């Protein structure tokens, strides 16, 4: 009988620098997607898949994960703090030491991935194949901008190719950042230095002839490392394109408890956070307005994130913009094309009429 996978490590220690200023106050795994923290989606999926014990590999802002520890509908959730950066593989080894070791394999989930992958099916297929490691693979139209994974007709991994430049390269899969690992391989990861899963562990295992199995994910998948992908994934969750056990009822928008948005146009999978207020005559499309924020009358917001407690004045335009927590954007400002307004910043009325992209 195939070994049943009942334990998991979720990597939540990253600082989320590409998402700043959002992550200055909130660690990336606790940012909301569809009104629910990314981590809550992942824990609910793990519980639904029969996982019994999860350890969070914490580092950045570890203290704020306390609300997620303990019993999670019958699933135990602990954490292990990483005092010094250990790399993706080192963090797994460090966190796995807090698990009792029930079973031959464990799941490893990156805390910035949102996917509808069937975790139970993924784990069962790993065990049934007798693989040393199973990797979630994602098919992309142009894999050359990513690190690619080459597999044979049976799904066995043949090679890892870092950003192939060859126009004739025929690969089409990239690493989806979710794994099933044999526990003895996790225990063999060096514990005295940073170790990368992708750059060191996987290539070395492959060179030794280990069985690395690719599991092609045809379900929803998104890397939430950038604001635009976070906004898109949140909208997809509200619209019902992405489903998890805590996704909620699909619709054009979602009002969280205490939110006020009467006489406004909400569409495209928008979320209005707890106790936020959107004044009459405003329009919010495919965006996230976080808890306690205020949006003035006549303002138009699209594909944007308005941070916790932020204030947007009347008759503004925000298109593809991030406004940090407690920032203030005065009336009549027009912000577009990737502009980020820093946490606690203040923009006077009409200070910006158009902004080019800031990379």
Q: What is the pTM of this model?
A: 0.91
How much is the pLDDT for 85? Answer: 87
How much is the pLDDT for 165? Answer: 61
For the segment 20-45, the average pLDDT, to the nearest whole number, is 94
Cα distances from 339 to residues 24, 157, 179, 324, in angstroms, run 17, 40, 35, 11
Backbone conformation region of residue 30, classed left if phi is above 0, alpha if psi is from -120 to 50, else beta: alpha
Mean of pLDDT over the chain: 90
Is residue 69 over pLDDT 70?
Answer: yes
Measure the CA–CA gap between 343 and 300, rounded to whole angstroms: 21
The 10s digit of each residue's pLDDT in 151-170 is 888 889 988 876 656 555 55
The 10s digit of each residue's pLDDT in 274-307 is 999 999 999 999 999 999 999 999 999 999 999 9
How much is the pLDDT for 356? Answer: 46
Measure the CA–CA gap between 8 and 110, rounded to whole angstroms: 11
Domain 252-347 of CATH type 1.10.260.30: no
Is residue 264 over pLDDT 60?
Answer: yes
For the segment 171-197, the average pLDDT, to the nearest whole number, is 88
* Nearest partner of 276 among 265, 289, 288, 287, judged by Cα: 289
Q: Where are the domains of the chain?
A: 7-227, 252-347
The whole-angstrom distance between residue 26's C-alpha and the CA centroid of its chain comes to 13
Is residue 333 over pLDDT 50?
Answer: yes
CATH code, residues 7-227: 3.90.550.10
* Nearest partner of 271 among 243, 236, 297, judged by Cα: 236
For the segment 260-276, the average pLDDT, to the nearest whole number, is 96
């Amino acid at each position: 009988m195939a070994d049943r996978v009942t334990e998991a490590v979720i990597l939540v220690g990253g600082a989320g620098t590409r998402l700043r200023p959002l992550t200055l106050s909130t660690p990336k795994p606790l940012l909301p997607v569809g009104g629910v923290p990314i981590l809550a989606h992942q824990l609910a999926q793990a519980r639904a898949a029969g996982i019994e014990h999860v350890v969070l590999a914490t580092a950045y802002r570890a203290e704020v994960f306390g609300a997620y520890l303990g019993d999670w509908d019958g699933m135990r959730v602990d954490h292990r703090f990483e005092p010094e950066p250990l790399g993706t593989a080192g963090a797994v080894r460090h966190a796995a030491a807090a698990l009792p070791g029930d079973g031959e394999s464990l799941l490893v989930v990156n805390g910035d991935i949102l996917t509808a992958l069937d975790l139970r099916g993924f784990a069962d297929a790993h065990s049934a194949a007798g693989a040393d490691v199973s990797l979630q693979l994602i098919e992309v139209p142009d894999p050359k901008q990513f690190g690619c994974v080459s597999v044979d007709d049976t799904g066995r991994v043949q090679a890892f190719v870092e950003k192939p430049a060859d126009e004739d390269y025929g690969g089409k899969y990239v690493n989806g950042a979710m794994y099933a690992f044999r526990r003895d391989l996790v225990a063999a990861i060096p514990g005295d230095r940073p170790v990368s899963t992708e750059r060191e562990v996987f290539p070395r295992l492959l060179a030794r002839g280990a069985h690395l199995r690719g599991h092609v994910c045809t379900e929803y998948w998104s890397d939430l490392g950038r604001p635009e992908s976070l906004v898109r994934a949140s909208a997809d969750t509200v619209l019902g394109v992405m489903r998890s056990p805590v996704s909620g009822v699909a619709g054009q928008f979602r009002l969280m408890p205490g939110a006020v948005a009467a006489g406004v146009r909400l569409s495209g999978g928008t979320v209005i956070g707890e106790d936020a207020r959107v004044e009459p005559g405003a329009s919010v499309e495919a965006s996230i307005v976080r808890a306690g924020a205020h949006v003035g009358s006549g303002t138009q917001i699209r594909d944007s994130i308005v941070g916790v407690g932020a204030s947007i004045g009347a008759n503004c335009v925000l298109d593809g913009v991030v406004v940090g927590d407690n920032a203030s954007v005065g009336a009549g400002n027009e912000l577009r094309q990737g502009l980020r307004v820093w946490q606690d910043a203040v923009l006077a009325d009409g200070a910006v009429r158009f902004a080019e992209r800031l990379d």
